[in-house]
Amino acid sequence: MIFSRHLYWIILLHVMLILATSGTGAWLIISQRGFVIGALLIICSLLQICGLVNKLNSFNQKLRIFFDAIEDKDNMLYFPEHNVSKEQEKLNRSLNRINLLLAKTQSEYSRQEHFYRSLLEEVPSGVLAWDSTGKIIMANSAALSLLDCQQLTRYRQLESLLQEKGRKEHLSLSQSRMKLQDETITLLSIKDIGDELSDKESESWNKLSHVLTHEIMNTIAPIISLSQTLSTYPDINEKAVRGLRIIQAQSERLLQFTESFRHLSYLPQPEKKLFSLTATLENLRELLSGDFKESNITFTLTCEPETIYMKGDENQLSQVLLNLLKNSMQALEGTEKGRISIHAQQDERISIDIADNGPGIPPELQEKIFIPFFTTKSEGSGIGLNLCKQIIRLHDGHLTIQESNPGKTVFHMDIPL
C-alpha cells in the first residue's frame, strides 16, 4: 500500500476520535450520568469506524484495480488527479506515474522484441526454439520454408519433418541450449547445404573433365592422323585398310565424346536479358510438333499468367527445356498414348514443371541421373542432364525431380525473376 504522510495523520486522527468518542460514551453509560448521550457517542464512534474502513477499502480497491491492470498489461488506466481529496490526489498521481513508467518499459520491450523478430526473419538460415515441454515458441519464415510447412507447434512435428526432409535434401543442423530465467530453451538452426555440395561436386567434375579432355585429345589426335596416313599407303592390303578405318572411326567418335567434356569444363556464363518465356515455350512446341505427331504424343502448355517475362540467357534455357522435352519423348517410347505437359508459373520466382506419363525413374537412379557421364541409355553420354543442372544453377535456380512414379514423372525448375 502507498500512504502519504497526510493520509497517515488522517488515519491517526480518526483513530483518536474513535477512541475519545467511544471512551466518553462508555464512561457516561457506566457512571449513569448520561445514558442517552453515551449511547449516541457509542453510535457515533461506530459510524466513524465504518467511515474509516470504507476509506481504507476504497484505497485497497483502487490498488487492486491498478495491479489487475498491470497483470493484464492494460496501460490505458488513469486515476483522476483533480476534484478529489488531497490524499487521493497524491495517491492517484503516484499510481499514474508508475503506470506511465511501466508503459514505457513495455513499449521498449515490444520494440526490441519486434526488432529481434524482424532480424530473425531476414536470416537466410532457419531458426527455431522450443521449451522443455516440447512447445515450439518461435520459428522464422526460413525454417518454415525449408521444412515445407505453414505452422509448427510441437517438437514431435519438427522431428518428423526433419526425418522426412533429411531423406530428400542435405540439411545442416546446429543445436544449442540456454537458460531463460527458470526455463530451458533449445535453439536449432537449419541450413540447406545442397547447393554448396552440388557446387563442390560440379567443381570436382569440371576439374576431372578438364584433365581428361586435355589428355585424351592429345592422345587421340595423333592416332587419327596416323591412321589416315597409313590407310593411303599403296602397299597395305585391304584388310589392314579396313582395320585402320575402324581405328579412325572409333577415334573420331571418342574425340566427339571428348568434345562433350568441354561443355562441362568451359560452360560460358549466361548472358542474362529480359525475354518472353511464353514465346520461347511456344517456339519449342512448334519445333517439336512434328515429332509429337509422329510419336502419337499429346502435348499441352499452360502459363500463369498467360505471358511470362523473365531475365536469363534465352539460348541456354531453351537448350535445357529442349533437352528435358527430348528426354520425356524418349521415356514415352513404346507408350501408346503418351502425354507431355509444361506448366510455367510466375510468382516470387519462375517455376516450370515438365511432366510425362512414362514408366518413371527407379528411386535408386533418381539421385544419380544428374551425375556427369551417368546414363541409362545404350548410346547416351550422361552429359545432358548434368549440363542442364549446371545451366540452371548459373541462373541461381534449381533443377530437381519433383515426382517420378509409373505413369507420372515431373522435372521441376525454379529460377529467380
What is residue 168's predicted lDDT score, i.e. its pLDDT?
59
What is residue 260's predicted lDDT score, i.e. its pLDDT?
58
3-state class of 358 per DSSP?
A: coil
What is residue 69's predicted lDDT score, i.e. its pLDDT?
73
What is residue 2's predicted lDDT score, i.e. its pLDDT?
46
Place of cell 520459428: 139
Average pLDDT, consecutive stretches of 10 residues, N- to C-terminus, the chain (417 residues): 57 76 77 75 78 71 74 71 71 78 80 80 83 87 82 83 67 80 84 68 64 68 73 71 74 68 67 93 92 92 93 92 92 88 92 93 80 61 74 89 89 90
What is residue 239's predicted lDDT score, i.e. its pLDDT?
72
Counting every residue written for the chain, the total comes to 417
CATH architecture of the domain 273-416 equals 2-Layer Sandwich (3.30)
What is residue 361's predicted lDDT score, i.e. its pLDDT?
86
- Nearest Cα to 370, choosing from 379, 357, 358, 361? 361
Q: CA-CA distance, 59 to 49, in Å (whole number)? A: 16
Q: CA-CA distance, 50 to 47, in Å (whole number)? A: 5
What is residue 310's predicted lDDT score, i.e. its pLDDT?
93
Q: CA-CA distance, 280 to 320, in Å (whole number)? A: 12
In 3-state terms the chain splits into helix, strand, coil percentages (rounded to 5) of 55, 20, 25
From first CA to last CA, the distance across the chain in angstroms is 65
CATH number for the region 123-192 comes to: 3.30.450.20
Burial class (CB in 10 A: 0-12, 13-18, 19+), 208: middle
Torsional sign, CA 281, 286, 292, 298: positive
